[in-house]
Homo-oligomer: A and B are copies of this chain.
């Protein structure tokens, strides 16, 4: 019985990793759709989002069943709770990729972004996908040291995001208000995606160490 239970726990973490990989792929495709005004790719991301949502429902259901039937304690309990939290964050990552794809679809056949800001989004997209990939690997490997290095990538994202705003807000901005509005929202989607990826990784650190890094209170187990 206990062995079957540990199998279930491993399966749950594996599904979370798969889900995180899917969210990363969604953002990769959404970014390509955005930069290339690729309608087919945008539609694909939009259509596939329910798969991520379904995975999340499945993970949560299994996690609740595990808690109810097995009443895990200590590290096992932490893993189940971390998985529930992380699945919520990964679903949001999928939603944010969906928002990017929808922006590409809304403006098609036009490009959403002015050429001036496209390089920012190419780079923010690259970092977002890298963060999702790192978070996926960290769930699989439980490598705490790597989770900490994610913060650097997240800082790079924040810098890009801040710099993007100075470009939009500059008097030289010649692309009009609608383009500024789209660019503002898209920038925020990438930044939030990165935040969620880091939060997923932090939850994994919590499982391993019992402490949330950069988190107000102690969350030691009683």
The chain A residues found within 8 Å of chain B, CB to CB, are 50, 53-54, 56-58, 60-61, 64-65, 67-69, 71, 73-74, 77-78, 81, 84-85, 88, 165, 168-169, 173, 176-178, 180-181, 184-185, 188, 215-222
Asked if B185 contacts A177 (CB within 8 A), the reply is no
On chain B, the residues within 8 Å of A177 by CB distance are: 168-169, 173, 176-177, 180
Q: Complex Cα distance A88/B73, Å?
A: 22
Q: Distance (Å) between the CB of A83 and the closest chain B CB?
A: 12
CA gap between A173 and B88 in the complex, in Å: 38
Question: Across the two chains, which residue of chain B brings its CB closest to A63?
Answer: B81
Q: A192 to B173, alpha carbons, bound, how many Å?
A: 28
What chain B residues lie within 8 Å of A180 (beta carbons)? 177, 180-181, 184
Residue in contact with A81 in the complex, picked from B74, B84, B215, CB distance below 8 Å: B84
Q: Apart from A57-B215, A60-B219, A184-B185, what 4 extra A-B contacts exist at CB < 8 Å? A: A61-B217, A64-B221, A67-B77, A165-B181
Residues of B within 8 A of A58 (CB): 217
Q: For residue A148, give the distance in angstroms from its CB to the closest CB of chain B.
A: 20
Cβ–Cβ contact B69 & A71, under 8 A: no
